[in-house]
Amino acid sequence: MKDYHSIKELFEEADLRHCSPGILACRKEAEEQNISYEEAWDRMKKLIPIFEHSIRRGLADKTRSLSGMIGGDANRLYRARMHFLSPVCRRACAYAIAAAEANAKMYRIVACPTAGSCGIVPAVIGVVGREIHASDDEYTRALFTAGAIGRVVAENASIAGAVGGCQAECGTAVGMAAAGVVDLLGGTTEQMGDALALGIKNLLGLVCDPVAGLVEVPCVKRNGMDAVIALTAAEMALAGIHSVIPPDEVIEAMGKIGRLLPASLRETSQAGLAVTPTGRRITEELNRKLRNS
């Protein structure tokens, strides 16, 4: 099978073969890993229960993290009466926070594309999948489509906060989730491209400035917020809204913006939220606590 190094290449090949980009991505993965197509497919399918388990963990464990900054918010949102968020949005948001809380509290998760952004893709694709009664195979196909997009971003920009800021982590996750949902709903590759471009564009420039260097603030709640952004991007694309800038150019722009970001805003906790008076106070308190333990 032909290599793909851009969204355009991936989607053109998928259209040519009248299949989902996820199917192609699985075929390519099998080829590269020297395993059968079925093995590659099963490997992805087996991640679904791990995704679901991490979400359940996060919802069930209402304790605070070691730093005391996060914990219990997924459960809070899940049980609260919503004023205007739809049931699907509320669940996606709560589930994304749940997986991110599970991550912060040292439970098992699947990095997607990173640990800090691990809630967005499983929450969005999982909740929509459940809503439309998708099968595990359809869920798997959407995950392969999402993964293929992440792969292109990793190759042409970056998925690491230390390299490209949070846009590289949560931004990529939003693009992956939005396109995955469009695939799940049987949308066209053009719509998938629009969904991922719209999603990533909305997070361009997002910095990585975590308090005390931990994957907690703002990461955990941002996963929840970004799940809703991914759903919005998918709805826009399915409604026929186009991204003026094509997906590959958006990804390229993200990479360039990442290189322009100062190191202080790339996971070093030397600027932004990390050095606010409250951010500093929490950092000092945590350091004192750890020194005494």
Partner 1 sequence: MGIFDIIGPVMIGPSSSHTAGAARIGRLALEILGEELASADITLYGSFAKTGRGHGTDKALAAGLLGCLPSSDKIRNAIELAGKQGVALHFSFSEEDMGHPNVASIRAVGRSGRSVTVTGRSLGGGRVLITDIDGYPVEISGEEYTLITHHHDVPGVIAQVCLVLAGHHLNISNMKVFRKGRGDDAVMIIHTDEKVPDHVTDELRACNRHVEQVMALDII
Nearer to partner 1, 106 or 239 (CB): 106
Nearer to partner 1, 119 or 236 (CB): 119
Instruction: Please identify which residue in 89, 162, 245, 253 interacts with partner 1, judged by CB under 8 A.
Output: 162
Q: Which of these segments, 83-91, 129-137, 150-158, 242-250, binds partner 1 (CB under 8 A)?
A: 150-158
Distance (Å, whole) CA 145 – CA 288: 45
Count Cβ atoms below 10 Å from residue 50 Cβ, excluding itself.
13
> Among residue numbers 27 through 56, which ones bind partner 1 (CB under 8 A)?
29, 32-33, 43-44, 47, 50
Nearer to partner 1, 90 or 141 (CB): 141
Minimal distance in Å, beta carbon 61 to partner 1?
Answer: 12
- Identity at 96, one-letter amino acid code: A
Minimal distance in Å, beta carbon 164 to partner 1?
Answer: 12
25 binds partner 1 (CB under 8 A): yes
Residues 6+ away with beta carbon under 8 Å from 108? 50, 53, 54, 57, 102
Instruction: Please identify which residue in 112, 182, 236, 257 interacts with partner 1, judged by CB under 8 A.
Output: 112
Residues 6+ away with beta carbon under 8 Å from 84? none
222 binds partner 1 (CB under 8 A): no
Q: What is the largest CA-CA distance in the chain?
A: 63
Tokens 């996750």 found at: 173
Nearer to partner 1, 44 or 94 (CB): 44
Torsion angle in degrees (nearest 10) through CA of 53, 224, 248, 12: 50
72 binds partner 1 (CB under 8 A): no
For 199, left (φ over 0), alpha (ψ -120 to 50), or beta?
A: alpha
Per the structure block, which two tokens stand in for 206?
Answer: 């997002």
Instruction: Please identify which residue in 20, 67, 189, 191 interacts with partner 1, judged by CB under 8 A.
Output: 67
Count Cβ atoms below 10 Å from residue 150 Cβ, excluding itself.
21
- Binding site residues, partner 1, CB under 8 A: 25-26, 29, 32-33, 43-44, 47, 50, 66-67, 102-116, 118, 121, 143-144, 146-148, 150-151, 154-155, 159-160, 162, 176, 212-216, 269, 286, 290
